[in-house]
Amino acid sequence: GTRIIYDRSFLLKMRNSPIAS
Partner 1 sequence: RTRSLEPIDGHHRLQYTYCIWYSRRTPGKLTNPLTYDQSLRIIATFSTVEQFWSVQSYLLRPSELSGHSDLHLFKDGIKPLWEDDANKEGGKWIVRLRKGLASRCWENLILAILGEQFMVGEEICGAVVSIRSQEDIISVWNKTANDSITTIRIRDTLKRVLNLPLNTIMEYKTHNDSLRDHSSF
Interface positions with partner 1 (CB under 8 A): 3-8, 10-12, 14-15, 17, 19-21
In the complex, the smallest distance separating the C-beta of residue 16 from partner 1, rounded to whole angstroms, is 8
Q: Which residues contact 20 (CB under 8 A, 6 or more apart)?
A: 14
CB 14 within 8 A of CB 20: yes
In the complex, the smallest distance separating the C-beta of residue 2 from partner 1, rounded to whole angstroms, is 9
Question: At CA 15, angle to CA 21 and CA 18, rounded to 5?
Answer: 40
